[in-house]
Structure 1
Amino acid sequence: MKPEQLPLVNTLSAPAIHPDGSRAVVSVTRPDFNADDYVGQLWSVPLDPTKYPRRITRGFRDTAPAFSPDGLVLAFLRPDADGKPQLFVVESAGGEPQRVTNQRCGVSGFSWAPDSHRIVFTARVPEPGRYGTVDGVTPGREDARLIAVNKYRMNGVGYVSDQRLQVFVLDLPELGGEPVVKPRGRAAHEMPAAEFADVPAARQLTFDDADHDGATFSSDGRHIYFLAAAHEGNDNDLVTSMYKVAAAGGDASVVHAGHSGPQNVTAVRESANGRSLFFTAQDLGESGTDFVARNSVLFAVSLGQPGEDPAEPVALTDAEHLDVSGPLEQNGPDSVLVLNTVAGTVELLTVSSAGDITPLVFGPKVVTGATVAANGEIAVSFQDGSTAGDVASLEGGELRLLTDFSAALRNYSRIVEPVAFEVESGDGHPVHGWVVLPDGPGPHPALLTIHGGPFAQYTGAFFDEAQVYAAAGYAVVMCNPRGSSGYGQAHGRAIKGQMGTLDMLDVLAFFDAAVAAHPVIDAARTGIMGGSYGGYLSAWIIAHDHRFEAAVVERGFLDPVSFAGSSDIGWFFGGEYTGGTPEQLLAQSPMAVASAVKTPTLVIHSENDLRCPLEQGQRYYATLKASGVDTAFLVFPGEDHELSRSGTPHHRRQRFEHILAWWAVHLPTPLNPAISA
C-alpha cells in the first residue's frame, strides 16, 4: 500500500441488523483527498449470500446506523453545513431521510426506545457566548475562562467545562407526514424567527456540570440509564457511576450497585426482560485514580421487583484474564454481547446474567461490532490480516462473509498478512507479536515499531502503517511487550513505576529474535519508531541503545515533569505510571537522558495535541538539536493526538511521505531510494 492509496481503505461501523434478520446496515467511510475529509454512506447488506450489498444513502458522511425495534425506521448521523453530526431518520423500506435534531455542537450518540417512537441522544450544550452561539463572537473574542479544576480539557474536544455533554429525549414525528415549510414573504414577516422550528423539540433531561454519556432506555421505556462523574470530589478521581432518570423528566439518581471500591463504569444496559442490569467497569484502587492496566469487568445486578433496591453486583468475567467492553448489545432475554481484548485479537462473547460465557467469534480477528435480530441472527463487523473491515453473519459458530470492502485496495496493492511470532524475553517472559515482510528476497532493512498506550495492543489485523512500510521495502517488526493489554493485568501492570525497563527488555528481545529467525531481514540496517507511549519508548531506547540507524519519535510522552502541567490527563497519568516523586519522574524520563542520544531522529507532533502537548516534542527536538544530533521537527497544524488514525487525509498522506523520506535518507531501499542532490 502506498500513501496515495489511503482513499481505498474503508472503515466500517458496527452493523445494525434489521429485527427480522433479513439484512444489516453498516456505514462505510473512507479518506477523500478531494474533500480533505472522510466521506461515506450507509450500505444495506443482505444476510442472504446470493444477494449483493448496495449503497442506500447519498450523504457526505452518514454513520452510526440503528434500526428501531419494530424495524420500520432507520436512524443515523449525518453532518450539517458546519460539519456537526445531526440525527436523521428514514423509513427502513426506503425514502428521503428527515433531519430531527439541530444541536449546536452536534449529536454524540443515540439509542432507541423499546416503543420505537422515541430516541435518547447525547449532545454538548455550549455556554451562551461560546462556540458560535452569538453572531460575531469568534473563538478569539470569547470571554476569558477562569479555571480552578483538573478536568477542563480533552484531546479532540478542547475545553469541556463550558460545553457539557447532556442527555435529551426526542419524540419522533410522523415520517409520512407533510414536511415543514419555512415561512416566506408575509408569513415570515408575521412569524418571529424564534418561533419557527424545522425539527421537533427535544427535551433536555440532565443539567449537571458533568459529562453525561452512554444513555440507554430501560426495557419498559420508562427510564433512561446514563453514565456520569457527578459525585462530590469528582475532580480528584476517575470514578464514573451509573445514573437513572425518568424518560418524562425529573431528578436523576445514582444507581447504587454495591461497589466494593472506586470504579470507572464504561457501559450500562438493562436486559431485554428487565430483570438484570449489566454494566462494565474498571477498578481504580483505593485512590480512585489507579487506572493503570485495569481490565474491564462485566457485572450483572438483579433488579428484583419495582421499588426494590438493586441487589449486589455479580462479576461475570474474570478481571485478570478477560478485558471486556461494550456497547452491551442485548442477546436474548437475559444476555448481552461483549467484546474481549485478548492476545492480539478482539473476540465476541455472549454472557448471561447467570455467568455463562460463550465465545462466538475468536481466533485471528478483531471484532469491531455486532448486533442481534429478533430471530437470533447475528451480524458482525470485523477486521483480519486481509481486510480493513467487512461484514459477516454468524451461523453455527462460523462466520459467513457477506461483503468485500477491501477488494479495491487488493486490486491496486498487495495486502501483506502479518506472521505471528512469540519469543522469550531476557528474563524468560513470553512476548507475542508479528513480522510483516515485504516482497522480494531481501535483505530488507527492519523497522521496530512500538504501539501507544501503553495499555493497548497490536493485532494481526490490517494495519495501514505496516502495509505502507512493507510496500516501501521494509520488514516491520511489532510486538506487545509488558505494559500492553490483552495478556492479563499482571502483564499490563508490570511496568507501573518502572517504565523503560521490562518493556524495553521485551521489545529488544523480540526484535533480536525476529531478525534472527528471518534471514531476509538485514540485521545491520535497522530503525525504530513509535507514537505516544511508543514515542516514549523509542526515545528511551535510543538514549540507551545505539544500534539503530535512525528513529522516528511521534507525539511522544517525553517529559513526565512538564506533562503533569500541560496534558489533559497530566494531573493523574504520569503519577500513576511513573510515580509522583521528582526522583521517580526523572528516572523514567526520556528528556532527562536525551543528551545521550546519538541516533538521527525525526520528531513529529501536532499543534492541537492536548494528550501529549506540542511542548513535549518542541523541547525534545531542541535538546537533540543542541546536542548536535541529526534531527528534524515535523509539525502538523490543526491536528490533535489522533493524526495518524483520523487526521485530515492530506495530512495523513503527508505524514507517510515525510516518514518514508526520512527512512530513504537513513535506510534506503530499492523501493524507497535516497534522492540524490
Structure 2
Amino acid sequence: MQARDIETLISVGRPDVAADGSFAVFATSRPDLDANRTVGQVWRVELPGGTPRRLTRGTADTAPRLSPDGSQLAFLRADGARKPQVHVVAASGGEPVQATDAPLGVEQFAWSPDGATIAFLARVPEKGRYGSVEGLEPHAEAPRRITGVRWHANGLGYAADRPAHLFVVAAPQPDSEPFYEPAAAVRADDAEPVRKRVLAAEARALTSGPTSHSRIVFTADGRELLTVPDEIETERRDLRSRLVAVALDGSGVREVLGADAGLSVLDVAVAGDGAIGILAHEVGDGLDFVAPGVGVFLLEDTGPRRLTDAETIHLGEGHLTAVDADFLAQDTTRGRVRLLRISREGVIAEVLGGDVEVGGHAAVGGQVVAAVSRPDSFGELVLVGDEPRTLTAFGAAAAASGIVLPRELTVTGRDGYPVHGWVATPEGEGPFPVILQIHGGPFAAYGVHLFDETQVLVDAGYAVVYCNPRGSAGYGRAHGRSIRQQMGTVDFADVIDFLEGAIADDDRLDGGRVGVQGGSYGGYLTAWVIAHDHRFAGAIVERGFLEPVSFQGTSDIGSFFGDEYVGVSPDDIARQSPMAVVGQVTTPTLVMHSELDFRCPLEQATRYYSALKRQGTEAELLVFPGEDHELTRSGQPRHRVERFDAVLDWWRRHLPVT
C-alpha cells in the first residue's frame, strides 16, 4: 500500500436494523484526494444475505437511523455551509427531505418511539459569534470572558460560547410536496421579499443557557429525553456526570443520576420495559480517569449497579445497545474489539469475536449486525450468528493495492513481563531496516485492523514492529494503570524489549539499522526513548505530549491529564518529562505537528524542536495548517499523503533501505 492508496480505506459506521429484522442500513466513508475531504453515503442491505446498495448520493452522508417502524431513514448530510443537518428519506430510497437548519449543524439525533418527532443536539452560538451576525468577521468579535478551568476542545475550538442544546422537531414526510423557489418580484402587499422555505416545521428548544449537553435518548414512553449536562467548572475539573430527563412538554427536568454516584457517563440505552443502562466508569474524586474500567451499569431505585468487571473488561470503545432485556457493548482485548451481550444479572456472552475490531453494532431481537475492521479490511458489515456472515466486500480495493498481514508476537521482557505486539515485514529475505512504532493514548492499543501507517512503511521496504506496552488498553486494568505517575519506566522497557525480541526472533530484521516514531503519547515515548537509548538512526516525534508544565494551561485536557499521569509536584513532573531530558538527545529528529491541535498544542512541538536546535541536535519541524490532533485519522486527504511523503523522505535520508 502506498500513500495515495488511503482512498481505498473504506470504513463502515454504526449500522441500524429495521424493526422486523429484514434489512440493515449503514454509512461508509473514505478519504478522497480530488475532493480533499472524507466522502461517503448511506447503504441498505437485505438480511440475511442481500447485495448492498447505495441508498443516498450525498458527499458525506453519515449516522443513519431508522424510524421505529422501519419505514423512514434519518441521517446527517452537510448543507451548503458544510454543517451537518438531519435529512429524512423513505427507507426504500428516494429524494431526502431536510428536517433541521441548525446554524452550527447537528451533533446527534434520535427518533421518538412513535416516529413522529426527531430530537437533536446542536450548538447554539453566542450572539455576535460564528456568523450569527452577518458581516462580522471573527477577528472583529467581542473579547471572550473566561472564568472556568476549560474553554476549548480539540476539533472544535472555543466551547463555552456555543453550548450544545436539545431541540425537537416534527419528522418531515419524505413524500410531501417540495418547497419551490419564490419569484424574485415582491408582491404589492408584501413589505419584504418572499423567502424560500427549507423546512416543513420549526425546531423547538428544550434547553438553554450556558450548560452544554451530550447524549440524547428517548425514554420508553417518549415523554422525556435523557441527556448528560456538561457544566464548565469554575475551580477544579470534575469528570463525574449527571444524567437528567428533560420533559418534551416543557414541564421540567428531573435528575436520574447524580454526580454523587461518582460515574463518568459515556452512553445511555433504554430497554423496551423502560430500564436504563449506562456505559460508564468510576472516577473516584472526580479526576481519576487513568485506565478506567468502563462497564455497563443498570440504574435501579437504589442507584447504579455494575454488571461487568472493572478489572478485566473495558467497554470504552463504542456504544451501548439495549436488546430485549440485555445490553450489547464492545470490549477491547489484546488488540481485538469483541461484541458482548450482558444480562441484567451480569452474565456475559461473546456475540462476535476473533480477529476483528467491532466499530459499531445494532440489534433487533435475535438479528445482530456489526461494523468491523480486520487484518485484510478497513471496514465491513457482518451479520452475527453461529457462523458470522460478511455482507460487504469493501476491503477488496485495499487488498488489491498490496498489503501484508502482520505476524503476532509475544516477547518476555527484562522483568519477566509478557509484551504483546506484531511484526510486519516486506517480502523477501532482507535484511530490512526496522522501524519501532509507538501508539498514542497511553490507554489505547494497536489492533488487528488494516493499518495504513504500517502498510505504507512496509511497502517502502521497512520492517515495522509495534506492541502494546504497559499503560495500554486491552490487557486488564492493572496493565493500564501501571504507568500512572510512572511514565517512561516500564512502558519504555516494554517497547525496547519488544524491539529486541522481534529482531532476535527474525534474522531478516537488521538490528543495526533501526528508527523509532510515534504520535501523541507515542510522541512522548519516542522522545523519551531517544533521550535514553542512542541506537536509533532517526526519530519522528508527532503531535507529542512533551512538556507537562505548559500542557496544563494549553491543552483541552490539561486541567487533569498531566496531574493524573505525571503528578503535580515539580520533582514528579521533571522525572517524567521529555523536555527535562531533551539535552540527552543526539538522534536526528523530525518533529511533526498540526497547527490547530488543542489536545497536544503546537507549543509542545515548537518548544521541543527549539531545544533540539539550540543544543545542535539535527532536527526539522513540519507543521500542518488547518489540522488538529486527528490529522492521521481524519485530516484532509492531501495533507495525509503529504505527511506520508515527509515520513518516507525522512527515513530515506536517515534510514535508507539499500
Which of 500, 518, 522 does residue 534 from structure 1 map onto?
522
| 1:242 has 2:230 as partner | no
**CA deviation after TM superposition for structure 1 residue 616, in Å:** 0.7
Q: Which residue of 1 aligns with 2:402?
A: 414
**CA deviation after TM superposition for structure 1 residue 562, in Å:** 1.0
CA distance in 1, matches of 2:187, 2:374: 58
Which of 487, 512, 520 does residue 500 from structure 2 map onto?
512
CA distance in 1, matches of 2:616, 2:231: 51
**CA deviation after TM superposition for structure 1 residue 229, in Å:** 2.9
**1:327-346 equivalence runs, <5 A:** 327-332=319-324, 334-346=325-337
Instruction: Give unmatched runs, 5+ long, in structure 2.
Output: none
Instruction: Give unmatched runs, 5+ long, in structure 1.
Output: 303-309, 671-677
Q: Which residue of 2 aligns with 1:301?
A: 299
**CA deviation after TM superposition for structure 1 residue 342, in Å:** 1.3
Q: Which residue of 1 aligns with 2:24?
A: 24
- Give the match's secondary structure for 1:255: strand
- Alignment deviations for residues 75-102 of structure 1 (CA, whole Å, 9 cap, x no partner): 1001011111110000112221001111
Which of 462, 466, 481 does residue 469 from structure 2 map onto?
481
**One-letter code of the match for 1:339?**
Q
Counterparts in 2 of 1:52 and 1:188: CA distance versus 1, 3 Å: farther
**CA deviation after TM superposition for structure 1 residue 391, in Å:** 0.6
* More deviation, 113-122/171-180: 171-180
Which of 361, 368, 371 does residue 352 from structure 2 map onto?
361
**CA deviation after TM superposition for structure 1 residue 644, in Å:** 0.8
Which of 643, 648, 652 does residue 664 from structure 1 map onto?
652
Q: Which residue of 2 aligns with 1:466?
A: 454
Contact persistence 1:41–1:62 (CA under 8 A): yes
**One-letter code of the match for 1:590?**
P
- Give the match's secondary structure for 1:236: coil
Contact persistence 2:119–2:168 (CA under 8 A): yes
* More deviation, 365-374/505-514: 365-374
**CA deviation after TM superposition for structure 1 residue 266, in Å:** 1.0
**CA deviation after TM superposition for structure 1 residue 208, in Å:** 3.8
**One-letter code of the match for 2:641?**
R
Counterparts in 2 of 1:182 and 1:615: CA distance versus 1, 3 Å: same
CA distance in 1, matches of 2:459, 2:250: 57
CA distance in 2, matches of 1:192, 1:182: 15
CA distance in 2, matches of 1:521, 1:422: 16
Contact persistence 2:22–2:48 (CA under 8 A): yes
- Give the match's secondary structure for 2:327: strand
**1:231-630 equivalence runs, <5 A:** 236-256=237-257, 261-274=261-274, 276-286=275-285, 288-302=286-300, 310-325=301-316, 326-332=318-324, 334-374=325-365, 376-396=366-386, 398-411=387-400, 413-630=401-618
- Alignment deviations for residues 268-319 of structure 1 (CA, whole Å, 9 cap, x no partner): 1221121x21011111122x111111121210023xxxxxxx3322110001
Contact persistence 1:45–1:403 (CA under 8 A): no
CA distance in 1, matches of 2:442, 2:194: 50
**1:108-147 equivalence runs, <5 A:** 108-147=107-146
> What RMSD over aligned residues (CA atoms) do the two structures have, in Å?
1.7
CA distance in 2, matches of 1:106, 1:189: 35
Q: Which residue of 2 aligns with 1:225?
A: 226
**CA deviation after TM superposition for structure 1 residue 524, in Å:** 0.7
CA distance in 2, matches of 1:101, 1:513: 56
Counterparts in 2 of 1:518 and 1:191: CA distance versus 1, 3 Å: farther
Counterparts in 2 of 1:581 and 1:261: CA distance versus 1, 3 Å: farther
CA distance in 2, matches of 1:196, 1:210: 33
- Alignment deviations for residues 194-222 of structure 1 (CA, whole Å, 9 cap, x no partner): 98642121111111422211100011111
**CA deviation after TM superposition for structure 1 residue 233, in Å:** 6.2
- Give the match's secondary structure for 1:564: helix
Q: Which residue of 2 aligns with 1:14?
A: 14
CA distance in 1, matches of 2:559, 2:189: 54
**One-letter code of the match for 2:163?**
R
Contact persistence 1:45–1:53 (CA under 8 A): yes
CA distance in 2, matches of 1:98, 1:402: 28
**CA deviation after TM superposition for structure 1 residue 356, in Å:** 2.1
**1:34-53 equivalence runs, <5 A:** 34-49=34-49, 51-53=50-52
Counterparts in 2 of 1:67 and 1:648: CA distance versus 1, 3 Å: same
CA distance in 1, matches of 2:193, 2:227: 34
CA distance in 2, matches of 1:205, 1:44: 33
**CA deviation after TM superposition for structure 1 residue 261, in Å:** 4.8
Contact persistence 1:229–1:239 (CA under 8 A): no
* More deviation, 180-189/34-43: 180-189
Counterparts in 2 of 1:232 and 1:656: CA distance versus 1, 3 Å: closer
**CA deviation after TM superposition for structure 1 residue 234, in Å:** 8.1
**One-letter code of the match for 2:390?**
L
Contact persistence 1:208–1:230 (CA under 8 A): no
Contact persistence 1:209–1:230 (CA under 8 A): yes
Q: Which residue of 2 aligns with 1:203?
A: 204
- Alignment deviations for residues 446-494 of structure 1 (CA, whole Å, 9 cap, x no partner): 1110000101011011111011111111111111111111111111111
CA distance in 2, matches of 1:291, 1:327: 18
Contact persistence 1:182–1:198 (CA under 8 A): no
- Give the match's secondary structure for 1:336: strand
Contact persistence 1:78–1:87 (CA under 8 A): yes
CA distance in 1, matches of 2:342, 2:205: 33
CA distance in 1, matches of 2:67, 2:189: 39
CA distance in 2, matches of 1:506, 1:20: 50
Aligned residues with identical type, % of pairs: 45
- Alignment deviations for residues 530-575 of structure 1 (CA, whole Å, 9 cap, x no partner): 0000000000110010011100000000010111111111121111
**One-letter code of the match for 2:564?**
E
CA distance in 2, matches of 1:631, 1:231: 39
Contact persistence 2:147–2:234 (CA under 8 A): no
Counterparts in 2 of 1:92 and 1:146: CA distance versus 1, 3 Å: same
CA distance in 2, matches of 1:661, 1:331: 51
Contact persistence 1:227–1:267 (CA under 8 A): no
Counterparts in 2 of 1:438 and 1:22: CA distance versus 1, 3 Å: same
CA distance in 2, matches of 1:110, 1:669: 50
- Give the match's secondary structure for 1:416: coil
**One-letter code of the match for 2:445?**
Q
- Alignment deviations for residues 495-534 of structure 1 (CA, whole Å, 9 cap, x no partner): 1111100100111111110111011111111000000000
Counterparts in 2 of 1:554 and 1:352: CA distance versus 1, 3 Å: same
CA distance in 2, matches of 1:416, 1:111: 41
CA distance in 2, matches of 1:269, 1:128: 34
TM-score (norm 2): 0.97
Counterparts in 2 of 1:226 and 1:193: CA distance versus 1, 3 Å: farther
Contact persistence 2:149–2:232 (CA under 8 A): no
CA distance in 1, matches of 2:648, 2:284: 43
Contact persistence 2:382–2:388 (CA under 8 A): yes
